[in-house]
Amino acid sequence: MTYVITQNCCKDASCIPVCPVECIHPVGSPGSFTDTEMLYIDPDVCIDCGACQEECPVDAIYPEERLPAELARFRDINARYFEHNPLQPDIAEHLDAHSAVQQGTLRVAIVGAGPAGCYAAEELTRTKGVEITLVERLPVPFGLVRFGVAPDHQHTKNITRLFAETLNSGTVNCLFNVEVGSDVVHDELMAHHHAVIYAVGASASRTLGIPGEGLPGHHSAAEFVGWYNGHPNQAHLDFDLSGNRVVIIGNGNVSLDIARILLSPNAVLATTDIADHALQALEASAVREVVILARRGPRQAAFSLGEFLALGQMSDVEVVIDDHGLDADPSDDVETAVKLEIAREYARRPSSAATKRIVFRFFAAPDEIVGDDRVAGLRVTPTELGADGVAVPSGESEVIESSLILHSTGYRGSEVPGVPFDAATGTVPNAGGRVLDESGQPVPGVYVTGWIKRGPRGVIGTNRTCAEQTVGALWEDFDAGELASDIRDRVELGELVATRDITPLDWTDWMVIDAAERESGAASSRPRAKFVDVAAMLDAVRR
């Protein structure tokens, strides 16, 4: 018998160190990012001890005999990974925790309480004596886990239990509802800490650069995701769901999430923590078809195989895909090969009586968003792949009619005043997490981790090795005596924040908000009913 890793895998890799026979792969060392979409268990080596299942923060691991039917295929997928990547006994080294430091000798501010910031805090709390201030601009923590992960993926959100252990450990001083750059500035943080780690993510969307982009009815996918997840910045937006068809440009997992949310039965969404306003709007939705558009072919598709596989199990939804570009190639890696297998199965399925459709349009480039005073459709041109793998136009354009067009073509970070920023890449220039100035020299005591460091790549767990690398660099600098020693104390930081016209919240306040949301959700058998604006969150704390 073996255990099997399935679709929810977040690559957090908590399971790897507990496996006594080292059969979970691939393994990443600090700062190295393995290029698979998930982790796999070698069925020939697994001794069925169950340790990994207990450790998995998102409930992605099952004993094979208890695999739910819809996940049964992952038994084969795990085994196939090792057919092509024989198990290597050399487990990558993880950094040992730094030895304890004297209280007051290292205080670190982490800016951003999303997964990147939480993993950085977790890594630092392995060493006794370190003091941490976690600064978050919203009144609530967990960033993209709360506002990015789709509401029907509640298992993935369980990673917050792991983060909560760290943030509630007594070592971390949470300062929520405080924005760095306006409420407090970079220099003020530096004056009160030996080091500052920026983990502010990359939440701005790249633009398409095609005519018609500014028409009402065209939005970024990030706005739509923020809307259904109740992000205070997007909760007020309106999306036109009165048309039959929605077009999404880009085919990463975000596009598949949106397609699922648009076409899932309301009864299913009503069991999740989707924002109330979105649940109501989707109940009245007329959308019956979601077109997912990509310039290149299925072999280059950005979605992960688990998410792709799950589309075929949606009730009353047909997945439509033509058979161009689906042939197997012996040089394909396992994940690509399985994706193409699934795509061929979809292409061969006879047309069903389903009332909704997800249509994959590969080899199609968006040229123009058409419409007079609002979106009426998307002009697309067929493409073919050039020798360099770049899609080039090939054939006559056509207009796909739609009143709502979303684009999911990449994220970029935003500049924090006082911190170096590369506008071309949308990241902070750095070397292994050490922030670099214009001359390429490290800025003493300033670090980055997460998407603002490496760009918008990887899944939640990727931030763990990213944080290990950054915190490793910070410890090297600490040991070399390169961090400032003359800083102001914690009390003075509190006094400084108190002079600003803001309402800072701490971990206890978040627990009040969390409890109120859970209690409100329980009335309708939901995990929580989210507050979607800052004022409501603050009211919950004051009650």
Q: How far is the CB of 461 from ligand SF4 (least distance, A)?
A: 16
Instruction: Give the count of beta carbons closer than 10 Å to the beta carbon of residue 462.
Output: 23
Cis peptide preceding 26, ω within 30 of 0? yes
- Our CB check for ligand SF4 shows the closer of 162 and 248 to be 162
Burial of 126 (0-12, 13-18, 19+ CB in 10 A): middle
Q: Is 286 in the site for ligand SF4 (CB under 6 A)?
A: no
Contact assessment for residue 87 and residue 59, using Cβ atoms and an 8 Å cutoff: no
Retrieve residue 538's tokens: 């603050």
Cα 62 to Cα 53: distance, rounded to the nearest angstrom: 7
Q: Is 150 in the site for ligand SF4 (CB under 6 A)?
A: no
CA distances from 180 to 90, 122, 143, 189, 509 (A): 42, 21, 15, 8, 20
Burial of 178 (0-12, 13-18, 19+ CB in 10 A): buried
Interface map 161-200 toward ligand SF4 (x if CB under 6 A): ----------------------------------------
- Our CB check for ligand SF4 shows the closer of 23 and 258 to be 23
Contact assessment for residue 538 and residue 176, using Cβ atoms and an 8 Å cutoff: no
Q: Is 49 in the site for ligand SF4 (CB under 6 A)?
A: yes
Among 19, 39, 262, 305, binds ligand SF4 (CB under 6 A): 19
Cα 212 to Cα 407: distance, rounded to the nearest angstrom: 13
Q: How far is the CB of 418 from ligand SF4 (least distance, A)?
A: 45
Q: Is 24 in the site for ligand SF4 (CB under 6 A)?
A: yes
Q: How far is the CB of 90 from ligand SF4 (least distance, A)?
A: 17
Among 35, 50, 327, 511, binds ligand SF4 (CB under 6 A): 50
Q: Is 21 in the site for ligand SF4 (CB under 6 A)?
A: yes
Q: How far is the CB of 465 from ligand SF4 (least distance, A)?
A: 19
What type of residue is 126? R
- Our CB check for ligand SF4 shows the closer of 50 and 389 to be 50
Q: How far is the CB of 73 from ligand SF4 (least distance, A)?
A: 18
46-54, 187-195, 222-230, 250-258 -> range binding ligand SF4 (CB under 6 A): 46-54
- Our CB check for ligand SF4 shows the closer of 45 and 502 to be 45
15-23, 112-120, 255-263, 397-405 -> range binding ligand SF4 (CB under 6 A): 15-23
- Our CB check for ligand SF4 shows the closer of 15 and 391 to be 15
- Our CB check for ligand SF4 shows the closer of 44 and 495 to be 44
What type of residue is 187? D
The number of residues that bind ligand SF4 (CB under 6 A) is 15
**Which residue is associated with the tokens 């005999």?**
65
How many CA atoms are closer than 13 Å to the CA of 513, on its beta-carbon side? 23
Instruction: Give the count of beta carbons closer than 10 Å to the beta carbon of residue 455.
Output: 16
Among 51, 87, 204, 354, binds ligand SF4 (CB under 6 A): 51
Instruction: Give the count of beta carbons closer than 10 Å to the beta carbon of residue 57.
Output: 20
What type of residue is 249? I
**H or E element: which one contains 62?**
strand 61-63
- Our CB check for ligand SF4 shows the closer of 28 and 115 to be 28
- Our CB check for ligand SF4 shows the closer of 292 and 334 to be 334
14-22, 71-79, 377-385, 428-436 -> range binding ligand SF4 (CB under 6 A): 14-22
Among 3, 81, 224, 475, binds ligand SF4 (CB under 6 A): 3
Contacts of 458 (CB under 8 A, 6+ apart): 11, 33, 466
Q: Is 398 in the site for ligand SF4 (CB under 6 A)?
A: no
Q: How far is the CB of 501 from ligand SF4 (least distance, A)?
A: 52
Give every strand in the sheet of 317-321, ordered side by side. 218-220, 404-407, 245-249, 289-293, 356-361, 317-321
Cα 492 to Cα 254: distance, rounded to the nearest angstrom: 43
- Our CB check for ligand SF4 shows the closer of 49 and 511 to be 49
- Our CB check for ligand SF4 shows the closer of 23 and 370 to be 23
Distance between start and end Cα atoms, the chain: 53
6-14, 18-26, 377-385, 419-427 -> range binding ligand SF4 (CB under 6 A): 18-26
Q: Is 389 in the site for ligand SF4 (CB under 6 A)?
A: no
Cα 124 to Cα 367: distance, rounded to the nearest angstrom: 48
Q: Is 47 in the site for ligand SF4 (CB under 6 A)?
A: yes
Q: How far is the CB of 471 from ligand SF4 (least distance, A)?
A: 26
DSSP string, 74-111: HHHHHHHHHHHSPPPS-PPP-PPPPPP--TTS-EEEEE
- Our CB check for ligand SF4 shows the closer of 42 and 273 to be 42
Q: How far is the CB of 48 from ligand SF4 (least distance, A)?
A: 6
47-55, 105-113, 446-454, 473-481 -> range binding ligand SF4 (CB under 6 A): 47-55
Among 10, 52, 124, 248, binds ligand SF4 (CB under 6 A): 52
CA 468 to chain centre: 18
Contact assessment for residue 24 and residue 39, using Cβ atoms and an 8 Å cutoff: yes
- Our CB check for ligand SF4 shows the closer of 78 and 234 to be 78
Retrieve residue 483's tokens: 């961090």
Strand partners for 63: 3
- Our CB check for ligand SF4 shows the closer of 82 and 411 to be 82
Q: How far is the CB of 63 from ligand SF4 (least distance, A)?
A: 8
DSSP string, 414-431: -PPTTS--BTTTTB--EE
Among 44, 48, 316, 398, binds ligand SF4 (CB under 6 A): 48
Burial of 486 (0-12, 13-18, 19+ CB in 10 A): exposed
50-58, 177-185, 501-509, 526-534 -> range binding ligand SF4 (CB under 6 A): 50-58
**Which residue is associated with the tokens 């009650």?**
543
Residues that bind ligand SF4 (CB under 6 A): 3, 18-21, 23-24, 41, 46-52
